[in-house]
Amino acid sequence: MSDGMITVFGGSGFIGRYLVKRLAATGRPIRVATRDPEGGLFLKPMGAVGQIDLVLANIRDDASVARAVHGATQVVNLVGVLAEGGRQTFAAVHAEGAARIARAAAAAGAAQLVHVSAIGASPDAGSAYARSKADGEARVRAAFPGAIIVRPSVVFGPEDDFLNRFGALARMSPVLPVFGGGAGTRFQPVYVGDVAEALFRILQEPARAKPLYELAGPEVLSLRQVLELVLRDTRRRRAIRSLPYGIGSLMAAVSWLPLIPKPMRISSDQLRSLRTDNVASAGTPGLADLGIAPTPIATIAPSVLSRFRREGGVSVAR
């Protein structure tokens, strides 16, 4: 592994906490760049005294980004948003913010930049989210030509917004929708621990890293299959109904009203993203190229979803 300080933007987030813990085991100094250093204090016990430093950084601000990468030999950008809110737009975070980090990393003389994007990133994508991810990749490569791009599929794990969202939806709604007819969008969900391990190995052997990775799980599941898994592991009986995208558009138009519970909310852009399968591209390097056997979602889902069971999280015989 490269010596010296490593800066992780978004290190207190979902993927970040797993990566920081993995890096901390090496004894290497880690700087976590975050908008909320106090909220990231839970990371401190993962390392030795003084090993993990939390610094205030806003990826919309040149000066704070420059301070965060100063003296770093490697930089990782994990920052992303699933939905826009206020100044946290897709363009500001995924494109402009990513470019700012790349420029600062290059100016600071960092030896390596690892930029986490998403499977489906494309300038021709139907969703603004995926187009902004593609824009970010292009800007990162322009500012830091040797950057490593890592595109995970939908990431699952204890703190995710995937299984937890569907688990909460199953708890409150008698009907679970599949938009577009048939079995719905296909996903290749990847375990957060596998994503963190992949990033760790890329950082550990930078000279052997490929320019692009797509990280995906061992199986492709339709949205209907995901919902069936959720119902099985929450031990709930709910109807799964195929709905046309037109109905989904009406739901998206009202889903952000204050009275609509968060698990039932869907934006128009998220609905557009469901028109495209979220699976790895054939021939693109992935977990196997890093020596990682992907974790099946069925081995992790029961523990994640246990709190949504009717029995209040207590296991019962089937």
Closest CA to 2 of 185, 131, 146: 146
* pLDDT reported for residue 189: 98
Domains of the chain: 5-152 (3.40.50.720)
Query: Quick one: average pLDDT of 47-70?
Result: 97
More confident residue, 173 or 259: 173
User: 239-289 pLDDT, tens per residue?
Assistant: 999 999 998 898 888 877 777 788 888 899 999 999 999 999 999 999 999
DSSP 77: E
pLDDT at 223 over 70: yes
User: 131-157 pLDDT, tens per residue?
Assistant: 999 999 999 999 999 999 999 999 999
Residues 105, 66 contacting (CB under 8 angstroms): no
CA distances from 294 to 188, 193, 194 (A): 11, 9, 7
What the block records as the tokens of 250 is 């009406």
Residues 196, 19 contacting (CB under 8 angstroms): yes
DSSP run (H or E) holding 304: helix 297-305
Strands (E), the chain: 5-9, 30-34, 52-56, 72-77, 112-116, 148-152, 155-156, 175-179, 186-187, 190-191, 212-215, 221-222, 239-243
Query: Quick one: average pLDDT of 296-302?
Result: 98
* pLDDT reported for residue 3: 75
Tell me how far apart the alpha carbons of residues 286 and 152 are, in angstroms, rounded to a whole number.
9
Q: Which stretch of 52-61, 74-83, 243-252 has the lowest confidence by average pLDDT?
A: 243-252
DSSP 96: I
Amino acid at 61: D
What the block records as the tokens of 24 is 């901390």
Q: How confident is the model at residue 318 (pLDDT cuts 50, 70, 90)?
A: very low
What percentage of residues in the chain have a pLDDT greater than 70? Answer: 97
Spatial CB neighbours of 280, under 8 Å, sequence gap ≥ 6: 119, 153, 188, 214, 215, 216, 286
Place of tokens 């296991």: 315
What the block records as the tokens of 260 is 């609509």
Q: Which stretch of 100-104, 175-179, 301-305, 310-314 has the lowest confidence by average pLDDT?
A: 310-314
Q: How confident is the model at residue 315 (pLDDT cuts 50, 70, 90)?
A: very low
* pLDDT reported for residue 311: 67
DSSP run (H or E) holding 260: none
* pLDDT reported for residue 263: 80
Q: How many CB atoms lie within 10 A of CB 88?
A: 15
Q: Which stretch of 95-109, 175-189, 208-222, 249-263 has the lowest confidence by average pLDDT?
A: 249-263
Tell me how far apart the alpha carbons of residues 278 and 217 are, in angstroms, rounded to a whole number.
11
Closest CA to 32 of 49, 2, 12: 12
Average pLDDT, the chain: 94
Tell me how far apart the alpha carbons of residues 53 and 70 are, in angstroms, rounded to a whole number.
13
Q: Which stretch of 9-13, 205-209, 240-244, 314-318 has the lowest confidence by average pLDDT?
A: 314-318
Query: Quick one: average pLDDT of 42-58?
Result: 97
pTM of the model: 0.94
User: 96-128 pLDDT, tens per residue?
Assistant: 999 999 999 999 999 999 999 999 999 999 999
Tell me how far apart the alpha carbons of residues 205 and 2 are, in angstroms, rounded to a whole number.
8
